[in-house]
Amino acid sequence: MRATIASGVAVAVLAATAAIAHEGATGAVKVRMDSMKAIADDMKLIGRGLRGGDLDPAAGRDAAERVARHAGMMPMQFEEATVEPPSEARPVIWEEFDRFAAIAGELETAALAFAEQAAGGADSDVLQATFRDMGGTCSACHEDYRIEK
């Protein structure tokens, strides 16, 4: 059961990564895309560690703290209402900016919780559940605010 959940999150993260096509991005769009890419890399690192049952506590904490930092910057990174190609952002972001920022806030909160749990040597079910919360925010936000390519 646990393995199913973990691999479900991993699949979602991989699918997000497979869609990466941000060559040619500049300015605000590049900053956002690079940040999302960094988040995806750290999610993969954590997902691999949880699946293998050998997540290094310090590495897990550091990765989750990086994710939290990027999530905390999201509202600022999306301040400029641009969807210049190759951006995959949907213009509705700027009509529902509070909700968009709230989802980013949920990711930040879950990532900080994960960092604390990982550093404190929490049980794998606890870590899996928090990792699932983190992953849930990716899909929640992408579903409404990112164009699937």
Residue number, 43 or 115, with CB nearest to ligand HEC: 43
Is residue 138 part of an annotated ligand binding site?
Answer: yes
Angle 59-62-144 (CA atoms, 0-180°, nearest 5)?
115
What is the end-to-end Cα distance of the chain in Å, rounded?
Answer: 31
Residue number, 50 or 100, with CB nearest to ligand HEC: 100
Rounded to 5 degrees, φ, ψ at 36 are -60, -40
What is the closest distance, in whole angstroms, from the C-beta atom of residue 122 to ligand HEC in the complex? Answer: 19
What is the closest distance, in whole angstroms, from the C-beta atom of residue 120 to ligand HEC in the complex? Answer: 21
What is the closest distance, in whole angstroms, from the C-beta atom of residue 51 to ligand HEC in the complex? Answer: 16
What is the closest distance, in whole angstroms, from the C-beta atom of residue 99 to ligand HEC in the complex? Answer: 9
Residue number, 61 or 146, with CB nearest to ligand HEC: 146
Task: Give the helix/strand (H/E) hosting 16.
Answer: helix 2-18
Contact residues for ligand HEC (CB under 6 A)?
13, 16-17, 20, 22, 29, 32-33, 36-37, 39-40, 43, 74, 87-89, 100, 103-104, 107, 134, 137-138, 141-142, 145-146
Is residue 142 part of an annotated ligand binding site?
Answer: yes
Is residue 70 part of an annotated ligand binding site?
Answer: no
Closest to 40 measured CA to CA, from 50, 48, 28, 52: 48
CB burial readout 24-38, b (16+ within 10 A) else e: ebeebbebbbebbee
Q: In angstroms, what CA-CA distances link 147 with 68, 88, 120, 142?
A: 23, 5, 38, 8
Residue list, annotated binding site? 138, 141-142
Residue list, annotated binding site for heme c? 138, 141-142
